[in-house]
Amino acid sequence: MSSQKYAIGLDFGTESGRAVLVDVADGREVATAIHAYGDGVIDEVLPGTDVGLPHDFALQNPADYIEVLRVTIPAVLSKAGVDAQDVIGLGTDFTACTMLPVDGEGTPLCQRPEWRDNPYAWVKIWKHHAAQPEANRLNEIAEERGEGWLQRYGGKISSEWMFPKIWETLNKAPDVYAAADRYLEAADWIVLQMTGQERRNSCTAGYKAIWHKRDGYPDDEFFAALDPRLRDVVDAKLSRQIYPLGQRADGLTPAMADLTGLRTGTAVSIGNVDAHVSVPAAAVVEPGRMVIIMGTSNCHMVLGTEEHLVPGMCGVVEDGIIPGFFGYEAGQSCVGDHFAWFVKNCAPAAYQEEAEARGIDLHQLLEEKAALQVPGEHGLLALDWWNGNRSVLVDVDLTGMLLGATLSTRAEDMYRALIEATAYGTRTIIDTFEENGVAVNEIVACGGLPERNKLLMQIYADVTGREIRVSASQQTPALGSAMFGAVAAGRAAGGYDTIFEAVPHMARLKDEVYRPIAEHRAVYDQIYAEYVRLHDYFGRGENDVMKRLKTLKARVQGPVGAPE
Amino acid sequence: MSSQKYAIGLDFGTESGRAVLVDVADGREVATAIHAYGDGVIDEVLPGTDVGLPHDFALQNPADYIEVLRVTIPAVLSKAGVDAQDVIGLGTDFTACTMLPVDGEGTPLCQRPEWRDNPYAWVKIWKHHAAQPEANRLNEIAEERGEGWLQRYGGKISSEWMFPKIWETLNKAPDVYAAADRYLEAADWIVLQMTGQERRNSCTAGYKAIWHKRDGYPDDEFFAALDPRLRDVVDAKLSRQIYPLGQRADGLTPAMADLTGLRTGTAVSIGNVDAHVSVPAAAVVEPGRMVIIMGTSNCHMVLGTEEHLVPGMCGVVEDGIIPGFFGYEAGQSCVGDHFAWFVKNCAPAAYQEEAEARGIDLHQLLEEKAALQVPGEHGLLALDWWNGNRSVLVDVDLTGMLLGATLSTRAEDMYRALIEATAYGTRTIIDTFEENGVAVNEIVACGGLPERNKLLMQIYADVTGREIRVSASQQTPALGSAMFGAVAAGRAAGGYDTIFEAVPHMARLKDEVYRPIAEHRAVYDQIYAEYVRLHDYFGRGENDVMKRLKTLKARVQGPVGAPE
């Protein structure tokens, strides 16, 4: 047994799961293995059946999660040449709210023959959107009743979250609801499988299931107002026992040790969520530093020492990100997706040819051309609402706008305007936090975009007026999970007693810093003022043209849309 | 000498001139010849010199106009096998305001060796934009003085028109101004060359030189307020003798007969303007039917029996289009240009490939895809201001806007939204006319677009709620000029005594009619209401964000624009 100790972080994503073996002493990522889910995202036909799925369904097969353990853990051990004895802990993170019904043994209902053909017995993943009617009704009733907790979630519970998804099953498949001994987040189910213990984590409970450390869940009267059959949903199908992040769930069971090649009793941490677990991996365990995960969408997280109700955010949860702090979350629903949309739908053929000739991709070419400009030079202004607005307007029916176009406007001008629009969106979130008592002094970025687009990073610094640093890891969720694994093991086993101890050793930022450039900032301040005015004009009810056009669009796609 | 009689229409455009030989009996276009100007549009260096031109200059060489006569008239005679004896009349039309200084003999100053090197001695064509400072100052002074005529021109005199261009020369080259015996529209200069007679036409005088049939020009005090040296500009450099359209200027001179192969004394009509002369060629000689020339931009013309001051139009001129009527003109500065911009800057590579594979152009492909939709289906709304707004806002500093975009928005959606935006712009013009007492019951379209884009025509019918017919001729200006040539000849010579007599014989519309479809109209009425609201919000001062962004753009392109 060597003196070097390792932890494994397991990151369960939408299409695949990955294991990263990390050196506990310095956070070095020694080996990585990825396994794509055999059944992927199930949105057409249930595997092994001919049961077709309704529109808006997005399911997964929980057997795929176990397969990730079976394949990736031995793979990283073998790649790294590390002895299982030197792996002191395991941490996991999941997409959320990704939830499933289980029987009394913790077996997913979909794995029991009598329920296999029922879609509602499978895992509903985060982007399963069929519970929108239930979410709408839940929000109406909560508002009518003046439920105070609604404000912790920006005034709206998403159809992606736990209770709309449970209620949907009750409405559509009451037999499944009845047969379910419990509903679990997949984040907690995988921990149950690994340790035999049900240890519901405070992150998903708080952000996705309306749980509050002091006030608990909404009261039974509220659930009864939704549906009398839901009155006891918390006690009958969930649990009031919630565990804060950073704790040890238990040790690995013998069966799991067999499956993975690790030793029985290896420490396993409480489950976590991919975005939130990235915060300590980005070296943030204190208030004032916002972590932004930048990818197809942006997720913003910041810590506070007090609970503030910040309008339009995704949630505030005590112990929701780092134990002992209030974790605030906000989001932009369309960031990398904007640029991907633009490149696919708007980049002219001449640019495609130029990019091909130079052996670069269209994003690089557009970034390069856009970087030749100074702020304000293209004369454009966009509202970044191609996929609605998550924070601070919380309105999926808003749509994108571009203004200032002339006959001289070029593709790189529009591309840059879209980048800037997402930066203005982030600034709106930061300003709203600060106006409501949550400080944001500095930004740490992680995710795919910061690596790929330096222009974007500089624009974010210039627009927000904040210095931006970038996580050194490109797999921050898995690194964060490994850090929590080391904490679950504890100092006595060669790990750390708290996440605060782990961070200085295991989390690193790159040396480069994006600093606001004063002249750019001055120009962007002017344009941002215009953005805010249009944001409020179109987003806060002064002119609801976007919604009216959407309603009209839905209407004409009906009977009028038939061939004439 | 056969009994068949012919007239020739000569259309002087921006890059070339054309002659069309037309059968007087039935308007059949028997032969066409085109001659590109040798010096084209002169915007870099004066021909035969090394004199560079300032930005915004656009000049022509008047010798090129004579060359058009010399080349194209014999060509059509020869192509058609027609005897010059059977050509009874000639009519001409020109771009406007396209103007030049001449000496006492009518010789352009630029043709005199002592002025050859001076840009101000050459023809300034319509799109010469260097007189903007003079136009701005003229408008300010006219407004301060409360000049009533300003309202006839939508409240603004364009830098493209006669007096700003004259004043520019006085400011920049006072010696040229002093040496000029007269300033002439090229439309009148070509008639002077052909007949030896100065016959200033009521169309250019009215639309471009602030002349009014009853009130004449602005008074000398106004011109003195611009510059004391301009006090006598009308009497010294122009003329108060203006001739209505439809008259005979005189007969062809012997020298011109030699040059062209026509007979001496062939009737020549008063000069005209390309847009306005198209109206009778589109069979319109009465109120209530709007002619729209659709090309890179739209020009709207309609007749009235009374003079109304319609806000935001390009002008109202008695005898300005058809003698005996008030001719109203409006315009949209960017129509075909929108679609050309879009295809060049926004059509994705995949579409380019598809179009190439199918052997069609991108416009056809986009039209075809866009035509599969019903109104309202794409959910988009655009303001058609990529090149400012000519009518009814008269504001070059407005810019384009697109709203309603989502991640599902495709190129054909945006393409269709741009077509619709120009249709909404036309409806705004029509509504403004009708609200101010000028009826528009029906539309006749001519120009390049109606031929090429049937979807566009149907959208215009649906949006405006008017039936649209299309001129049978694809060269309506030349046909209109030939019609006025036949009128100059008169009935005794085998022509017609009035343009009203000529129209039923010589002008034809196609059989096809674009009729508003009731369900489309209902949807477009809703979207148009949204258009009007945004049009007024961004265009009438409620939110001047477009202008502020333009100002900022101009500022940052200065010192801040330098490499960092």
Cα distances (Å, whole numbers) of residue B108 to A523, B54, B123, B208: 50, 21, 8, 20
Residues of A in contact with B347 (CB under 8 A): 348-349
Q: Does A422 touch chain B (CB under 8 A)?
A: no
Collect all residues with Cβ–Cβ distance below 8 Å to B54 and sequence separation of at least 6.
B119, B130
Q: Is the Cβ of A112 closer than 8 Å to some Cβ of chain B?
A: no
| Shortest CA gap A94–chain B (Å) | 26
Helices (H), A476-517: 476-489, 499-506
Q: CA B493: distance to chain centroid?
A: 31
- Cβ atoms of residues A400 and A417 within 8 Å: no
A375 touches chain B (CB under 8 A): yes
Contact between B108 and B61 under an 8 Å Cβ cutoff? The reply is no
B561 has pLDDT over 80: no
8 A C-beta contact, residue B24 and residue B495: yes
Q: Which residues of A touch B406 (CB under 8 A)?
A: 386-387, 399-400
| Residue B377 forms contact with A (CB below 8 Å) | yes
Indicate the residue of A347, A379, A402 with minimum beta-carbon distance to B402. Answer: A402
Residue A560 pLDDT: 38
Helix (H, G, I), strand (E, B) or coil at A122: coil
Best to test chain A binding among B403, B517, B550 (most A CBs inside 10 Å): B403
Q: ipTM of the predicted structure?
A: 0.92
Name which of B164, B175, B182, B7 is nearest B84 in CA terms. B7
pLDDT tens column, A85-96? 999 999 999 999
With 0-12 / 13-18 / 19 or more C-beta atoms within 10 angstroms meaning exposed / middle / buried, residue B49 is exposed
Helix B499-506 and helix B274-281: axis angle, to 10°?
70
Q: Once rounded to an integer, what is the mean pLDDT over residues A354-360? A: 97
Residues of A in contact with B351 (CB under 8 A): 349
Q: Tell me the pLDDT tens digit for each residue of B104-131.
A: 999 999 999 999 999 999 999 999 999 9
- Distance CA(B331)–CA(B451), nearest Å, equals 20
Does residue B563 register a pLDDT over 50? no
| Cβ pair A530:B550 closer than 8 A | no
Instruction: Give the distance from residue B561's alpha carbon to the nearest chain A alpha carbon, in angstroms.
Output: 6
- Does B352 sit within 8 Å of A379, measured CB to CB? no
Interface test with A, best of B342, B346, B365, B455 (most A CBs within 10 A): B346
Instruction: Return the SS3 of B164.
Output: helix
Using CB atoms, pick whichever of B400, B411, B556 lies closest to residue A405: B400
Report CB contact under 8 Å: A402, B405.
yes
Q: Which residue of A has its CA nearest to B407?
A: A386
Residues 6+ apart with CB under 8 A from B189: B62, B65, B100, B102, B106, B108
Residues whose CB is less than 8 angstroms from the CB of residue B292 and which lie 6 or more positions away in sequence, other chains included = B298, B299, B300, B301, B426, B443, B444, B445, B446, B447
Contacts of A146 (CB under 8 A, 6+ apart): none
The pLDDT score that the predictor gives to residue B422 is 98
Contact across the interface for A553 and B341, Cβ inside 8 Å = no
Q: What is d(CA B84, CA A561) in angstroms, rounded to the nearest whole number?
A: 59
* Nearest chain A residue to B547, by CA: A404
Whether A411 and chain B come into contact, CB under 8 Å, resolves to: yes
**pLDDT at residue B154, rounded to an integer:** 87
Q: What is the mean pLDDT of residues B181-196?
A: 98
Using a CB-CB cut-off of 8 Å, the residues of chain A touching B552 are 376, 379, 523, 526-527
- What's the rounded mean pLDDT across residues B440-462? 95
- The confidence score (pLDDT) of residue B399 equals 96
Q: According to the model, what pLDDT value does residue B396 have?
A: 87
Q: Do A349 and B345 touch (CB under 8 A)?
A: no
pLDDT-derived band of residue B2, with 50, 70 and 90 as boundaries? low
Find the closest chain A residue to B556 by CA distance. A377
CA B181 to chain centre: 27
Q: What tens digit of pLDDT does each residue of A449-486 get? A: 998 899 999 999 999 999 999 999 999 999 999 999 99
Set of chain A residues whose Cβ sits within 8 Å of the Cβ of B398 = none
- Report residue B506 as tokens: 């010589």
Task: Please name the residues in contact with B412: beta carbons below 8 A apart, sequence gap of 6 or more.
Answer: B366, B369, B370, B373
What are A265's two structure tokens? 């009793």
Q: Is the pLDDT of residue B528 over 90?
A: yes
Cα within 13 Å of Cα(B101), Cβ side: 29
What pLDDT band is residue B564 in, cutting at 50, 70 and 90? very low
Contact list, A381 vs chain B (CB under 8 Å): 545, 549
Rg of chain B over CA atoms, in angstroms? 24
Packing angle of the helix pair B476-489, B499-506 (nearest 10 deg): 130
Pair of tokens at residue B402: 């697109």
Q: What is the pLDDT of residues B314-323, one digit of tens each?
A: 999 999 999 9
Residue A561 has pLDDT above 70, yes or no: no
Question: Cα dist. A79→A20, A28, A31, A74 in Å?
Answer: 11, 14, 6, 9
pLDDT given at position A204: 97
Cite the beta strand spans of A157-311 per DSSP E.
182-185, 248-251, 267-269, 288-294, 298-304
- CA of residue A61 relative to chain centroid, distance: 20
**Contact of B239 with B348, CB cutoff 8 Å:** no
User: Tens digit of pLDDT for each residue in A299-348?
Assistant: 999 999 999 999 999 999 999 999 999 999 999 988 999 999 999 999 99
Interatomic CA distance for residues B208 and B202, integer angstroms? 10
| Smallest Cα distance from B48 to chain A, Å | 32
Task: Assign residue B301 a region (left: φ > 0; alpha: ψ between -120 and 50; beta: otherwise).
Answer: beta
Local confidence band at B521 (pLDDT 50, 70, 90 cut-offs): very high
For residue B104, the SS3 value is coil
Say whether residue A505 is in contact with chain B using an 8 A CB cutoff.
Answer: no
- What are the chain B neighbours of A378 within 8 Å (beta carbons)? 553
What strands, in cross-sheet order, belong to the sheet with A315-318?
A: A315-318, A326-332, A298-304, A288-294, A440-446, A468-471, A509-514
Selected for mutation to probe chain B from A386, A396, A403 (highest B CB count within 10 Å) is: A403
A348 vs B353: CB contact, 8 Å cut-off? no
CB B298 within 8 A of CB B332: yes
Chain A and chain B share a number of CB contacts under 8 A equal to 177
Mean pLDDT of A381-405: 95
Q: What is the pTM of this model?
A: 0.93
Name the pLDDT band for A233 (thresholds 50, 70, 90). Answer: very high
CA separation for the pair A396, B444 (Å, rounded):
43
B406 interface with A at CB cutoff 8 Å: yes
Here the tokens at position B542 are 């409620």
To the nearest whole Å, the CA of B334 is away from the closest chain A CA by 9
A543 interaction partners in chain B (CB closer than 8 Å): 533-534, 537
Task: Name the average pLDDT for chain B.
Answer: 96
Interface of B with A in 512-551 (CB under 8 A): 519, 523, 526-527, 530, 533-534, 537-538, 543, 545-546, 548-550
Q: CA of B158: how far to CAs of A529, B127, B130, in Å? A: 33, 11, 11
pLDDT computed for residue B515 by the predictor: 98
Locate B418 and state its tokens.
């741009």
B558 token code pair: 């200065």
Calculate what percentage of chain B has a pLDDT beyond 90.
95
Per-residue tokens: A26: 């310095």
B357 CB within 8 Å of a chain A CB? no
Q: Does B51 touch chain A (CB under 8 A)?
A: no
Integer Cα distance of B111 and B64 in angstroms: 12
Which among A149, A252, A251 is positioned nearest to A205, based on CA atoms?
A: A149
Question: At B55, is the pLDDT very low, low, confident or very high (cuts 50, 70, 90)?
Answer: confident
